[in-house]
Amino acid sequence: MKDNIEYKENSGVQLITYADSLGNNLNDLKYVLDTHLKSVVKGVHILPFYPSSGDRGFAPLTHRKIDPAFGRVEDLSAISADYNLMADLIVNHVSKESKYFQDYLAKGDRSKYHNFFINARYFSRRWYKRPKSKLGRFFYFSIGQIVTIMRNLDFIFHEQGVNRLILKKIYRPRPGSPFVKFIRADGSKRYLWCTFSPEQIDLNIKSLAVRRKFRRDIRFLETLGVKYLRLDAVAYAGKQRSTNSFLIPRTYIFIKWLARHAHHHGMKVVPEVHFHYKTQISLAHLNGVDYVYDFALPFLMLNALFSGRGQYLKNWFKIRPQNSISNLDTHDGIGVVDVEDLLPPEEIQKTTDQVYRNGGNAATRASGSSSVNVDVYQINCTYYSALDKNDKAYLLARAIQLFLPGIPQIYYVGLFVGANDKKLLNKTKNGRDVNRHYYTLAEIEQEKEREVVKKLFKLCKLRNSNPVFRGKYKLDNTSENIIGITWRKNGKSLSLKADLETKSFEIRDELERTIFSV
């Protein structure tokens, strides 16, 4: 990241939450925002509020309705009227309970949604364009049928009709083949691509009907007042034989296509991608992309705080994209794959081990092979627990995050400085639920009175209100254990000096007055 870059807007703090995590529904969420968080956050990312069959909303039946359990369109519109609203467009898949897939199961190839999905035969075929001549079509279907039969009979070089070598190339967060067997109403079986689970059926982004669906989805989200469109799991959306089917060239083309339509409806586009840091840098410069996620920051911050040395963290600050959404915690876990080549392997291992020690048995079980919904690239633990519930270290991490350019996002559990929810983990056996506590309104009243929460709120208000964050940013030249960041505008300034060894920090203005210290 270049020094002395001037930023035209102060992108204030954005809350990340589920519709039913701060209270029971959208109406309760609006109450919490207005009563407790009015000057603490300027925006809110409400995780999928659509009717869904699983994965906490990420197995949507449709994008054009609000789950009645959460509320009505009017409830969501009331939030977007006062806060910058981000919503998810889940572009990779739909629920197996959706009308699209149920119609396909019932009617097979006669369904109007028959080309919505990716079967093994479609993925494996070499001919992608249907021949125009009758003779060409005869050979196209005849040879195709014979080849398909041979592939299905070959259990040595093929699996589910797909070349085993090609299957090994596919990059996904689950082991094994992505193809899952489904039985249609007429008894015929089809192997369909499911990146994440059999509950979530992947969509064929080459289908014009699927594209029309996305355009209608975007139009609906515009009516709700959505300002930021998060493209969930978009890196997995493009599939092509002989590739790893992860952020392949056709995926970049698809992102630009989505961005064009989103921009037409007044939305900024944010692709959600967990991968090597150079991928984020590349996406940050892609035509149509407005922001990218800084998923490297959480793990790098932990490494700096555990070691008391900031060389790896500061190196990232020098190259991270300027249009980043910074975060320390999300509804998923703490990413590990995102820091490959930013940290040496031994530092990654030491940091991982320390997170498990601090997070205790709950973090180990939540991220272990016995847990449901395991992502092999992430550690399931709240950020507060990952820091061994050390208030000073936690506030220092947040202060650094809030002094970075871009949009600072804070997950709702992190905003209320929550520890691992062992009770919920024991109940659901879902690893990610260790970081998905449900707060009642009474509990929120109690939690906001904790001293560490009050201090975090004060830091957020400073970021939201001070005009220097619309000025010039500079990473100061400091010793290994010190992080120094300064913002300046019109003769005013704010400087953060953070000591990674002592976990103390202070924020001073242009007159060297201490505005905040820990």
Which residues are part of the catalytic machinery?
232, 272
Residues 6+ positions from 170 with CB-CB distance below 8 Å:
178, 244, 245, 246
Other Cβ atoms less than 10 A from the Cβ of 68: the count is 9
CA 159 to chain centre: 31
* Residue type for position 180: V
CA distance 409 to 455: 17
Q: Are 271 and 255 in contact (CB under 8 A)?
A: yes
* Cα maximum dimension of the chain: 84
515-to-37, 69, 385, 395 alpha-carbon distances in Å: 21, 43, 28, 15
The dihedral built from the CA positions of residue 270, 496, 468 and 5, taken in this order, carries a sign that is negative
Query: In this structure, what token pair is assigned to residue 397?
Result: 């991490």
Tokens of 59: 């197995």
| DSSP secondary structure letter of residue 133 | S
CA 375 to chain centre: 13
Rounded Cα–Cα distance for residues 115 and 345 (Å): 43
Helix (H, G, I), strand (E, B) or coil at 182: strand
Nearest-angstrom CA–CA distance, 50 and 221: 11
Measure the CA–CA gap between 222 and 299, rounded to whole angstroms: 34
Q: Cβ-count burial of 198 within 10 angstroms (0-12 exposed, 13-18 middle, 19+ buried)?
A: exposed
How far apart CA 351 and CA 338 sit, in angstroms, is: 14
For residues 426 and 428, give the distance between their C-alpha atoms in angstroms, rounded to a whole number. Answer: 6
Q: Angle at which helices 391-402 and 451-465 pack, to 10 degrees?
A: 10
Q: For residue 123, give the nearest of 245, 281, 264, 291 by alpha carbon.
A: 245
Q: Where are the alpha helices (DSSP H) in 403-497?
A: 412-415, 422-428, 441-447, 451-465
The secondary structure element, H or E, covering residue 102 is: helix 99-107
